[in-house]
Homo-oligomer: A and B are copies of this chain.
Amino acid sequence: MFDVSEVTVIAVDVFGTTVDWRSGVIDGVAAIAGHHETEFDCPALVDAWRERYLPAVGQINRGERAWANLDAVHREALDECLEVFGVAGKFGAEARERMVRAWYALPPWPDAAAGLAELRRDFVVVALSNGGFAQLTHVVKGAGLGFDAILSAENVGAYKPDRRAYVNAAKLLDAEPRTILMVAAHTWDIHGARDAGFRTTFVERPGEKGPDRPADAAETTDCDLSAVSFADLAGQLRGARKGVDAGH
């Protein structure tokens, strides 16, 4: 194991890692569709919506398009998805805004709140997410999660997995990259953090992409640690720190 005693900050991804975005957004969109008495394959639309996210932020990171926060990225991708699913005529601007806001109220994974609280006893624990700052503030509060601070792509001026997203976060936190442990359920995020010099923990969220699509897996992720929950991570770190303290 790397030298855990160097770690002072734990940076935690939000969507998929601490909250179940898929269930939350499906519920939110289905409720709006119900009000409009419109039927379509809601989980499939939400999956298609999410699939447009990384390509869009990649374009922004490469400077191929102007900065837009995640709400704006979501709105554009939603408009496309509603066309693809043949229901674009059913939803006006107000309903679409409410669908975008479905990404503001998402259920936490069951272990998240207690596990983050445990980690905060020993570390500065921050959210480091591609969500907008306002969005993250609402997601975190609504899910009952506690962070010492929230860092949004809007604060750092770039989206993960761009190296700037991690480097700028380290600068704002006044912490050397090797003293920051990134915790995420996505291989691309772990690899981005690793390439910026962060320590990394892959946390397994097997249900993140729903019952029919495999989630990212620890076996195919180059990470320093892997864990099945935040409590598991807290236990591993405490054990490693005791080992360090004991001179092992």
Residues of A within 8 A of B (CB): 71, 120, 124, 126, 132-138, 140-141, 146, 148-150, 152, 154-155, 172-175
Contact = CB atoms under 8 A, between A and B. Distances in A.
A149 B150 CA distance: 6
Given A134-B172, A137-B149, A140-B149, 12 more contacts: A120-B141, A124-B138, A126-B137, A132-B174, A133-B149, A133-B174, A134-B173, A134-B174, A141-B148, A146-B146, A150-B150, A155-B172
A120 B132 CA distance: 20
A174 B131 CA distance: 13
Contacts of A173: 133-134, 137
Q: Which of A134, A152, A154 has the most CB of B within 10 A?
A: A134
21 contacts: A124-B138, A124-B141, A132-B174, A133-B172, A133-B173, A134-B172, A134-B173, A134-B174, A134-B175, A135-B174, A136-B149, A137-B149, A137-B173, A140-B148, A146-B146, A149-B149, A150-B150, A152-B172, A154-B172, A155-B155, A155-B172
Contacts of A146: 146
A150 B126 CA distance: 11
A128 to B, nearest CB: 12
Q: Which of A136, A137, A141, A172 has the most CB of B within 10 A?
A: A137
**Interface of A, helix, strand, loop or mixed by DSSP:** helix
Contacts of A149: 133, 136-137, 140, 149-150
Nearest to A123: B141
Contacts of A124: 137-138, 141
A133 B81 CA distance: 38
7 nearest A-B residue pairs (beta carbon) = A134-B174, A133-B172, A149-B150, A137-B149, A141-B148, A134-B173, A155-B155
A244 B136 CA distance: 29
A149 B173 CA distance: 14
A227 B51 CA distance: 49
A43 B168 CA distance: 36
